[in-house]
Amino acid sequence: MRQPLRWPWLDFDVDDVLAPAIAVRVDVTETRAEVPEHWHRKGQLVFALGGGVTCRVPGGLWMVPPHCGVWIPGGMRHSNIATANARIFFVYIEPGAADLPDRCCTLSISPLLRELIIELSDCAPSDERCDFLGRILLAELPLMPVQQLHLPISAELRLRRIAEALADDPADRRTLAELANHVALSESSLARLVVKETGLTFGRWRRQLHLIVALRELASGASVQQVSGDLGYESVTAFITMFKKALGKPPAKYLGDIAQNSGSAFIA
């Protein structure tokens, strides 16, 4: 069961603050938490210092990988789901304050940018220090490499039903034929529809979902064995093989390398 994400301040509307950049830190307790679908005028960078966060936006599912942040442009509807015991930072940026993408994307977070976000979250928006830190952050953020690790989700109703079912239960191992029957399509028709709407075959699309869930759970402290079982793999070896084929490294080395070098590239 997901609990509402608790904000540190009551009746706080980020759009009322005119500072170029402000940051809010939210600590999640033992239970998963969710910010329901909403939007705001400011752009938002979602960054997790611990645990994992998944962002839903129209047309896609984005996870916040370790040492990266997900950028959501202002005006875009979205929701955020955090794992238990996550430490999350939301950075809100005035439109036009920095040269940032006009689409949702994953950005690397340098050690300098990470420290700026942490410091910014500790000062009030009216503080002169907040303005100083915000301007350095806005100069640094556009320099961050864009990474790609997201799950395309079509607005087509039948595909959205399948996507939501598999996202809610990643261990669901129904075949393409079984899922096609579930939405009253033939297997070949569903296969063509998935490619048309997402650009991926069904097998690659489901693998991408598993990678998103796996990275989120591993980042929150789950073991490889636990994640493998939660995703319905017959063995840990099968899961590691899938992970290594997709991202070039086994899970432990992949996450370890990211921790040492926050500029590492993600292979989508």
140 in Cβ contact with 116 (< 8 Å): yes
Q: Count of CB atoms within 10 A of residue 258's CB?
A: 21
The predicted model gives 11-35 an average pLDDT of 80
**Distance, C-alpha 199 to centroid of its chain:** 20
pLDDT at 261: 55
Burial status of residue 191 (CB atoms within 10 A of its CB: 0-12, 13-18, 19 or more): middle
pLDDT band at 17 (very low <50, low <70, confident <90, very high): confident
Question: Highest mean pLDDT: which of 20-34, 114-128, 144-158?
Answer: 114-128
Tokens 């590691």 -> residue: 240
Q: How far apart are the first and last CA of the chain?
A: 30
In DSSP notation, 79-140 reads EEEE-TT-EEEEEEE-TTSS---SS-EEEE--HHHHHHHHHHHTS-TTSHHHHHHHHHHHHH
pLDDT, mean over the chain:
84
The token pair at 60 is: 């896609």
Q: Which residues make Cβ contacts (< 8 Å) with residue 67, sequence separation at least 6?
A: 108, 109, 114, 258, 259, 262, 264
246 in Cβ contact with 213 (< 8 Å): no
Q: What is the pLDDT of residues 103-147, one digit of tens each?
A: 999 888 888 999 999 999 998 878 888 899 999 999 999 999 887
Residue with the larger pLDDT of the pair 204 and 164: 204
Between β-strands 21-27 and 87-93, what pairing exists: parallel, antiparallel or unpaired? antiparallel
Q: Which of 170, 177, 257, 250 is nearest to 207 (CA)?
A: 170
Kindly give the residue spans of alpha helices, DSSP state H, lying in the chain: 111-121, 128-140, 157-168, 176-182, 187-198, 202-219, 224-230, 236-247, 251-260
pLDDT above 90: residue 190: yes
40 in Cβ contact with 15 (< 8 Å): yes
**AA letter at 32:** R
pLDDT at 90: 93
The token pair at 163 is: 């996507």
